[in-house]
A and B are shown apart, each in its own frame.
Chain A
Amino acid sequence: MSKILIRGAKVLGGEPQDVLIEGSEIAAVGSGLSAEGAEVVEADGKVLLPGLVDLHTHLREPGREDSETVLTGTRAAASGGYTAVFAMANTFPVADTAGVVEQVYRLGQEHGYCDVQPIGAVTVGLEGKKLAELGAMHESAAGVTVFSDDGKCVDDAVIMRRALEYVKAFGGVVAQHAQEPRLTEGAQMNEGVVSAELGLGGWPAVAEESIIARDVLLAEHVGSRVHICHLSTAGSVEIVRWAKSRGIDVTAEVTPHHLLLTDELVRSYNPVYKVNPPLRTERDVMALREALADGTIDIVATDHAPHPHEDKDCEWAAAAMGMVGLETALSVVQQTMVETGLLDWAGVADRMSFKPAGIGRAQGHGRPVSAGEPANLTLVDTAYRGAVDPAGFASRSRNTPYEGRELPGRVTHTWLRGRATLVDGKLA
């Protein structure tokens, strides 16, 4: 059985310790562990985290392999310190049947860089009209537990109510992309001072908040849990906070880019900043950080949305919405949450591994770093500083808003069940 000794790692940011991996499991955590027969990785004060879990990734396969495949997407995930990603259903064909979700699941297993947990569509073809076969997807080899029409909102209140109720039978959860469609017709960016000046169609905060308000009340009424994708406004935070205070079983995610970027960047008309939901204001960014710190927002999810160059190298209105995020997420969280003192590394582990694994019921992920647990681990050089260079991305797409921006921290090693997928910053 292969043995790896990670020497002198700050486990969850604590005092340096040694961590011994044997086979696919953590064998021991302690001081002065014997290196006998083990390959030694000198952590040298780097931070060791449980393998990150992303509840919101677009892998694009099947159908849009020009922007990403399961292989390139999971390599990007491993580069970013992830050991499990939840793959969104808006592929071509849509992941609304057992067949499609099993295909995506198997591709992840074959490539072996990162576990891929498919998300099933809530409605057939993401059309919001007819429930997809949620049970069949759950019972398939992929074992789907998270359902989402992400990219589109389940805006029909009755369909949403039924979906929330139906998945209770097998412990599933509906992840809502909160966007009232009528209020966002022709919407191009956050509606406010900047949109007024730029003459781009406004995307009001209320389009998100009204759906969240409705859905937490629906979840309360039918006694279901509900997950809210990519919260982007201060108002959404207030609604989720209120819902949690009432005991409603709601969880929420925020993307790294909504923790850092604002709609002021749209003044460049550079579509690399075009994303759904749109970048909001400084006030929203601050509210989101605070909410992630105090637990109102449960997790960070990347909404990694790869697009080919030509879909971004054009005028704003014609450009696709979305940003890649797997390879920069941890750095952005370090800058916005850790270096601001809002979260410690244990908090990061909670928001980026434990909690997302819990919400998605990801087996073997989001476990403590202790003996007997699966060796899904991420080693981070938190002292690193460097400018983001998309040319070095493992993702097939380069649509990052951080090109040239200096961000802290770099994932140097990732282990998936004891096997290194990333070594010294290079994919294995």
Chain B
Amino acid sequence: MQRHLISAADLTRDDAVLILDTAEEMARVADRPIKKLPTLRGRTVVNLFFEDSTRTRISFEAAEKRLSADVINFTAKGSSVSKGESLKDTAQTLEAMGVDAVVIRHGASGAPYRLATSGWIDAAVINAGDGTHQHPTQALLDAFTMRRRLVGRDAGIGQDLAGKRITLVGDILHSRVARSNVDLLHTLGAEVTLVAPPTLVPVGVGSWPCEVSYDLDSTLSKSDAVMLLRVQRERMNAAFFPTEREYSRRYGLDGDRMAKMPEHAIVMHPGPMVRGMEITAEVADSERCTAIEQVTNGVSIRMAVLYLLLGGNEPAVTHTRTEEK
């Protein structure tokens, strides 16, 4: 039995639905006067962040605290890590302090997998984003948001996303969000289309369970949700696309394009948004944009993941791929 959450590809359909259903219950805690549960009392979780990501760290921290876990925040900047201490030593030091779970954000793809499988530590490992590999809790909160909006908050319980058409637009090549979403949405039965300039689609994408298009306009009318991925301006310097203006003209979502989407369709963004690049302010601030909801849902999803991995004597989530050695 796996104790870790490393990749969205490791989740079965039933695991994923269980997480979404659990998150739906967790979300109700937010409506109470006391937004706290005693579930993880006495468990210590460390947020081990080798990359700056205030949003993700705060979201995990809120989830951990709502479940009454003891929280240690460790940011690599200014620590011994920046003086050359290895991931292994850092992790072992933390475990020596009695940590039950490590939530790790790391710039190197595969670092959480290494942490979970190298025998360095015994703690459960939760991937909070690694390089350009995976960001499974992001994919889960995205799926949660889609299920709520496209299936319904109560009607969605026990349901997956069968038949929903999801379009991901932007820098697929460098995006762990895209990889995680393709894996998870496919598992949940959705039909995924990736839209990007060919330079920002990875070689080898042909083996992914999704369609690839270079033309945004032709996919809009066939989308139940359009997810925009952040495009970093520095990519221009590496000749991935000529100019910001050309990118947003071909792949940015503005009001006119949004109007081509079906009425029920939503616009999603994992944040942080680059307004004027992949999304106009008009779209970002519209009712159809779920960016803020996604942030709220992130806390519920992370509570669910923490509960299901740490809430008992063994995890409730089975994994299909990541095997412990």
Q: Residue of B at shortest CB range from A314? A: B86
Instruction: List B contacts of A192 (CB < 8 A).
Output: 203-204
Q: Is A318 an interface residue (CB 8 A)?
A: yes
Cβ A269 vs Cβ B114 within 8 A:
yes
- Expressed in whole angstroms, the Cα–Cα distance for A188 and B86 within the complex equals 19
The contact of B207 among A191, A196, A199, A268, by CB within 8 Å, is A196
Cβ B206 vs Cβ A198 within 8 A:
no
- Digit string of B118-135 for contact with A (CB within 8 Å is 1, else 0)? 100000000000111110
Cβ B88 vs Cβ A193 within 8 A:
no
The contact of A199 among B87, B114, B132, by CB within 8 Å, is B132
Q: Is B242 an interface residue (CB 8 A)?
A: no
Cβ B88 vs Cβ A197 within 8 A:
no
Cβ A193 vs Cβ B134 within 8 A:
no
The contact of A316 among B110, B132, B176, B208, by CB within 8 Å, is B110
- Expressed in whole angstroms, the Cα–Cα distance for A269 and B117 within the complex equals 10
Cβ A315 vs Cβ B110 within 8 A:
yes
Instruction: List A contacts of B111 (CB < 8 A).
Output: 315-317
Tell me which of B18-26, B101-109, B283-291, B300-308 binds A.
B101-109
Q: Contacts A315-B111, A317-B108 hold; do A197 and B204 have CB atoms under 8 A apart? A: yes
Q: A223 CB to closest chain B CB, in angstroms?
A: 37
The contact of A193 among B132, B176, B179, B206, by CB within 8 Å, is B206
Q: Is A15 an interface residue (CB 8 A)?
A: no
| B residues 187-230 in Cβ contact with A at 8 Å | 202-208
Q: Is A256 an interface residue (CB 8 A)?
A: no
The contact of A313 among B110, B118, B131, by CB within 8 Å, is B118
**B interface residues, tally (CB under 8 Å):** 27
- Expressed in whole angstroms, the Cα–Cα distance for A197 and B88 within the complex equals 24
- Expressed in whole angstroms, the Cα–Cα distance for A193 and B114 within the complex equals 21
Q: Contacts A195-B202, A196-B203 hold; do A317 and B109 have CB atoms under 8 A apart? A: yes
Q: B245 CB to closest chain A CB, in angstroms?
A: 26
| A residues 244-301 in Cβ contact with B at 8 Å | 268-270
Cβ B208 vs Cβ A200 within 8 A:
no
Cβ A193 vs Cβ B110 within 8 A:
no
- Expressed in whole angstroms, the Cα–Cα distance for A192 and B203 within the complex equals 6
Q: Residue of B at shortest CB range from A185? A: B238
Cβ A196 vs Cβ B131 within 8 A:
no
Cβ B108 vs Cβ A316 within 8 A:
yes
Q: Contacts A199-B131, A269-B110, A313-B118 hold; do A193 and B87 have CB atoms under 8 A apart? A: no
Instruction: List B contacts of A269 (CB < 8 A).
Output: 109-110, 113-114, 117
Q: Is A418 an interface residue (CB 8 A)?
A: no
- Expressed in whole angstroms, the Cα–Cα distance for A193 and B205 within the complex equals 7
23 A-B pairs (CB sep. < 8 Å): A191-B203, A192-B203, A193-B204, A194-B204, A195-B202, A195-B203, A196-B203, A196-B204, A196-B208, A197-B207, A197-B208, A198-B133, A199-B131, A199-B176, A200-B131, A202-B204, A204-B203, A314-B114, A315-B87, A317-B107, A317-B108, A317-B131, A318-B86
- Which residues of chain A have a CB within 8 Å of any CB of chain B? 188, 191-202, 204, 268-270, 310, 313-318
- Which residues of chain B have a CB within 8 Å of any CB of chain A? 86-88, 106-111, 113-114, 117-118, 130-134, 176, 179, 202-208
Having A195-B202, A316-B110, one finds 8 other A-B pairs with CB under 8 Å, namely A195-B203, A197-B208, A200-B131, A269-B114, A313-B86, A317-B108, A317-B109, A317-B111
